[in-house]
Amino acid sequence: MRIDILRHVAAGLLGSFISRNNDVGGYWALGVLCAEAGPRAVELRLTERLATPPAPACMAVAATYAGFLRRAMLKHGIDADDLARATVDIAFGVTPDVAIYRHAAGAPFCCTVTLASRCGKTATVRAYGHCRPHDPSLESQRRKLPS
């Protein structure tokens, strides 16, 4: 497995994960995870479809992104069994080590995606942003259009 492809898949997963289109029940997934986890970090182990903490939204997002990862790898001709480990780690309330553009309310977060192949190659990508814990009284729910 080529490291550039592994990095490309990791970057695509990270971009999708922190985007506003990543939702749980129509609300931004990062805000929902922040509300469920409180001040603790969230770890999603995509190869196992598990999350810490094992809260409902955390487990749902882990399952969704395990599927996203599998599809992305197949597009690049990589078998899912070639991955030893795939994690998404989100730390809330961190102090960024780089300047970040403030486009959302709330405290800073750091999201790190790590993909490790069975042959010993590891790709790690990271992004910072801002989010606040989910509060339905302050947010509007995204509605799916009828098909």
Total-model pTM: 0.88
58-94 pLDDT tens trace: 999 999 999 999 999 999 998 888 999 999 999 998 8
113-128 pLDDT tens trace: 999 999 999 999 999 9
CA distances (Å), origin 142, targets 25, 78, 93, 145: 8, 33, 26, 9
Does any domain span residue 147? no
**pLDDT classification of 105: cutoffs 50, 70, 90:** low
- The CB density around residue 79, as the number of other CB atoms within 10 Å, is 11
Does any domain span residue 38? yes
> How many domains does the structure of the chain reveal?
1
**pLDDT classification of 132: cutoffs 50, 70, 90:** confident
Assess contact for 127 and 107: CB atoms under 8 A. no
Structural domain containing residue 59: 3-131
Assess contact for 14 and 113: CB atoms under 8 A. yes
